[in-house]
């Protein structure tokens, strides 16, 4: 058999682009020519292939492997890596809540022969904002003017930080400073401010700003601005005004997107107008926007609230058919709905089927199914789940844990009570309230030998140590 031709650096990039599995992509990158072991000169990796593999690894949080590739890239002398690559790495760390590593990457950039502009500063600011490191955001912003000129993006990040923090007044201070420094606010600036106002239910001000942005600043509102306003109107039950706003988008030739419809569909279900949902879904295709996972999730949620699980499962099938992958939220909604109705067998079936469906349960899935078992007094099943979730580092809702303990006390089931307590000791935070403790102690003392009461004291001190 003929040995295949060795892979060229150019070909490696296209193969990396096609490879969806990050582990396989990494293997491919590390050993592009398994058929030609060491017979050739060192492989001349292109900058593009570095960029592709770093992005792939960063997206799935394979940070150790990503750092290794970065070190390898540092040794390359044939090119200087572009700033955007590091901006991406910084933002991966921000999304993964690893502020230290974001700062580290920023600090190391010069050693990669890469100059830092306002873009890297912005990436770092946003990463720190996501991690809630607001004092650090402030500190870096104060210092950055010695190196670069803050741009609109910089101020937008600061405004966002204020809005998320619930301090809209501070957001206005930043907005004023932005204008004083001669930086023109753009559509993101206004979008962020309007979003903040809507979340705070200050709709009057939000609508005024929408007018001002056009009239005074010459910035046209976009779909993002409209969605915030529509959501704000839905929240106060003004659905007809919300729909009128959607019509205004059509009149003003602002492209409708799935988010607008997800918001409206969610609101329709909430006020019991589910009959209008399918009409809206049809209208979406008229405007050329396809429902996405969030839209479908809103529909699934609506059906579950109506206890129409058949319809909910039908939507799951429809998603698959329309090439729209259900995510963990889609499943959590159904599992939660089933649990609420006492259909814990069906809920557990779906829960256990998650891996086969290509979705791993998250902390919400565990808490939901655990609460379902506790509410319907399926204590054996609950303890089984509790063991698994604590092992994974997830903790239950406090109310569910208390339901379990109280239930076991009522049943006088000291053995299972013991098991549950041992699990809860290993949970990250103390979720058992004082009244429940009192009950547990009195039951154990009454039911069991004194020795267990001593053990219980040990358990209690272990919990206190955790606290």
- Per CB under 7 A, residues contacting DNA are 55, 58-59, 84, 87-88, 91-92, 95, 118-119, 122-123, 126, 152-153, 156-157, 160, 186-189, 191-192, 195, 222-228, 231, 257-260, 262-263, 266, 292-295, 297-298, 301, 327-330, 332-333, 336, 363-364, 367-368, 371, 397-399
Taking the complex as a whole, the smallest distance from the CB of residue 376 to DNA amounts, in Å, to 15
Minimum CB separation from DNA for residue 289, in Å? 10
**Shortest reach from residue 397's CB to DNA, in Å:** 5
User: Do 442 and 434 contact (CB within 8 A), yes or no?
Assistant: no
Residue identified by tokens 């889609």 is 330
Label residue 40 exposed, middle or buried (CB < 10 Å: 0-12, 13-18, 19+).
exposed
CB 227 within 8 A of CB 197: no
> Least distance from C-beta 423 to DNA, angstroms?
19
Cβ at position 443, least distance to DNA in Å: 25
CB closer to DNA, 32 vs 232: 232
Residue whose entry in the numeric block shows the structure tokens 């358990």:
459
Beta-strand (E) ranges in 243-311? Answer: none
Min separation Cβ 324 and DNA, Å: 11
CB closer to DNA, 289 vs 408: 289
Q: How far is the CB of 450 from DNA (least distance, A)?
A: 36
Distances (CA, A) of 261 to 211, 289, 397, 435: 23, 9, 32, 46
Contact 418, 453 (CB under 8 A): no
Kindly tell me which of 206 and 417 has the beta carbon lying closer to DNA. Answer: 206
CA 241 to chain centroid, in Å, comes to 30
Angle between helices 258-270 and 293-305 (to 10 degrees): 10
In a 3-state reduction of DSSP, which class is residue 254?
coil
Q: Which is nearer to DNA, 228 or 348 (CB)?
A: 228
Residue closer to DNA, measured from CB, 15 or 164: 164
Q: Is 183 left (phi over 0), alpha (psi -120 to 50) or beta?
A: beta
Q: Closer to DNA by CB, 65 or 301: give it.
A: 301
75 or 323: CB nearest DNA? 323
Q: What is the DSSP letter of 276?
A: G
Distance from chain centroid for Cα 414: 40
Contact status, residue 148 vs residue 117, Cβ threshold 8 Å: yes
Q: Which two tokens stand for residue 123?
A: 């990436």
Least CB distance from residue 25 to DNA, whole Å? 15
Which pair of structure tokens corresponds to residue 437? 């403790």
C-beta of 223 vs 421, nearer to DNA: 223
Residue 418: burial class (beta carbons within 10 Å; 0-12, 13-18, 19+):
middle
82 or 110, CB closer to DNA?
82
Task: Give min distance, CB of 92 to DNA, in A.
Answer: 5
């Amino acid at each position: 058999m003929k040995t295949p031709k060795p892979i060229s650096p150019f070909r490696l990039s296209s193969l990396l682009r096609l490879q969806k599995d990050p582990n396989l992509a990494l293997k491919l990158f590390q050993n592009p020519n398994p058929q030609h072991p060491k017979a050739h000169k060192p492989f001349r990796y292109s900058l593009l292939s570095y960029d592709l593999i770093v992005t792939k690894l960063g997206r799935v949080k394979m940070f150790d492997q990503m750092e290794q590739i970065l070190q390898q890239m540092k040794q390359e002398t044939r090119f200087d890596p572009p700033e955007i690559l590091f901006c991406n790495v910084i933002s991966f760390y921000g999304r993964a809540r690893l502020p230290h590593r974001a700062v580290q990457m920023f600090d190391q950039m010069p050693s990669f022969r890469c100059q830092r502009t306002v873009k890297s500063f912005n990436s770092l600011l946003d990463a720190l904002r996501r991690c809630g490191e607001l004092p650090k955001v402030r500190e870096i912003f104060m210092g950055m003017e010695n190196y670069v000129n803050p741009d609109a993006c910089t101020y937008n990040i600061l405004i966002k930080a204020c809005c998320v923090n619930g301090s809209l007044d501070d957001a206005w201070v930043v907005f004023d400073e932005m204008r004083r420094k001669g930086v023109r606010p753009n559509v993101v600036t206004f979008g962020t401010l309007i979003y903040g106002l809507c979340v705070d239910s200050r709709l009057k001000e939000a609508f005024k700003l929408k007018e001002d942005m056009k009239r005074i600043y010459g910035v046209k509102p976009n779909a993002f601005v409209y969605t915030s306003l529509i959501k704000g109107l839905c929240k106060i039950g003004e659905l007809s005004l919300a729909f009128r706003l959607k019509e205004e988008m059509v009149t003003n030739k602002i492209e409708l997107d799935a988010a607008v419809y997800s918001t409206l569909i969610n609101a329709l279900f909430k006020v019991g107008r589910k009959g209008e949902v399918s009409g809206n879904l049809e209208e979406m295709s008229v405007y050329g926007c396809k429902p996405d996972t969030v839209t479908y999730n809103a529909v699934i949620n609506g059906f579950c609230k109506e206890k129409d699980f058949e319809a909910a499962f039908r939507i799951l099938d429809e998603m698959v058919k329309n090439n729209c992958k259900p995510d963990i939220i889609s499943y959590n909604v159904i599992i939660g709905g089933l649990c609420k109705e006492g259909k814990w067998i069906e809920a557990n079936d779906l829960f256990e089927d998650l891996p086969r469906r290509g979705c791993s349960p998250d902390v919400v899935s565990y808490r939901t199914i655990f609460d379902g078992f506790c509410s319907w007094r399926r204590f054996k099943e609950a303890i089984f789940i509790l063991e698994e979730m604590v092992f994974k580092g997830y903790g239950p809702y406090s109310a569910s844990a208390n339901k379990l303990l109280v239930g076991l006390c009522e049943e006088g089931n000291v053995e299972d009570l013991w098991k549950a307590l041992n699990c809860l000791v290993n949970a990250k935070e103390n979720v058992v309230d004082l009244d429940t403790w009192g009950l547990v102690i009195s039951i154990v003392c009454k039911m069991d030998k004194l020795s267990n009461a001593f053990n219980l004291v040990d358990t209690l001190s272990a919990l206190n140590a955790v606290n």
